[in-house]
Amino acid sequence: MKHFDTDHGLTFKFQTEVADALAEGQPVVALESNVITHGLRYPHNIAAAQDIEAAVRANGAVPATIFIEDGAIVYGSDPQRLERYATSDGIPKVSSRDLPFVLANRSPGATTVASSLICAQWAGIPIFSSAGIGGVHRGAQDNMDVSADLIQFTRSRVTTVCAGAKMILDLPLTLEFLETHCVPLVAYKSDDFPAFFCETSGLKCPQRMDDPHSIARAINLHAASGAPGGVVVTVPPRPEDAIPTQVAEDALATALKRAESANIVGPGLTKFLMRQLEEATGGQTARANAAVLISTASAAAEIAVALAADTPKSPSIFHTTTR
């Protein structure tokens, strides 16, 4: 493990594999830890985390799963840390607004999409992979429930590779939000905007590219333009992994009624709905979730490899104080 301290009081800890890759300008893919603590059930969460990292390596990049621990950002997993986060109750998911407080309290935490983007940019990791991003929630016209992920896309110069947004959200409004805030959005080898474990939302992506080097050039051109934020790349689930849209919508309708009856709102709603969908489909959605995590990680690695080849090397975090 390599430690880096900054003049601003931030502490970073890197597994040697990740530190060496960053120092040498090799492709690295950032991964969130929230899927381990709040996504899949034990022991499927451990198996999925290992499979995701294996998929990144198989496609030529180094995985950097991001954890918060003892006042530091930790990049890269090991068997002990993975087991601890997969089995411990009460490790909170930490979004971007929570990050400074969790670090100051030296509490453990699992990174979400939004906080992972911040941490990835701190370390100079240009590519982040997730399954489904957050978005505009159904009923947002009344409750203003909009995911912090969408705001963070406009702030962090990191490309997010994902399977679109979760189908429990208002996907037309999510696309409208991304357009309004000028977030570059492109579908990789597809025309449609996927809906997490559904192959399509029925909505089109504004752009399509089939070559990772073309996406890498677009990422570099976006950065060169001086525009803030990062690119969002969508990758649909493989047809054999996808849940039929009607099956998912029928299960969701029931889940939404149960959530309303139980008065479940706010941060706990997403997890409740996802668990309800898992039960209603006999575990199909959980299996599809795990498969999507792997397919997006594979695509993210392909793009990271292309980006590393097409981007001039620049100074990284490894010019800060190390111990």
- The residues annotated as belonging to the active site are 32, 166
The reply to whether 148 sits in an annotated binding site is yes
**CA–CA dist 132, 127 (Å, integer):** 15
The reply to whether 86 sits in an annotated binding site is no
**CA–CA dist 88, 211 (Å, integer):** 41
Q: Beta partners for 3?
A: 13
The reply to whether 147 sits in an annotated binding site is yes
**CA–CA dist 270, 145 (Å, integer):** 12
**CA–CA dist 171, 185 (Å, integer):** 14
The reply to whether 145 sits in an annotated binding site is yes
Closest to 168 (Cα-Cα) out of 263, 285, 283, 52: 285
The reply to whether 88 sits in an annotated binding site is no
∠ at Cα 141 (135, 142), nearest 5°? 115
Closest to 195 (Cα-Cα) out of 165, 169, 170, 238: 165
The reply to whether 20 sits in an annotated binding site is no
**CA–CA dist 68, 210 (Å, integer):** 35
Q: Which parts are annotated binding residues?
A: 93, 113, 145, 147-149
Residues within the annotated binding site for substrate? Answer: 93, 113, 147-149
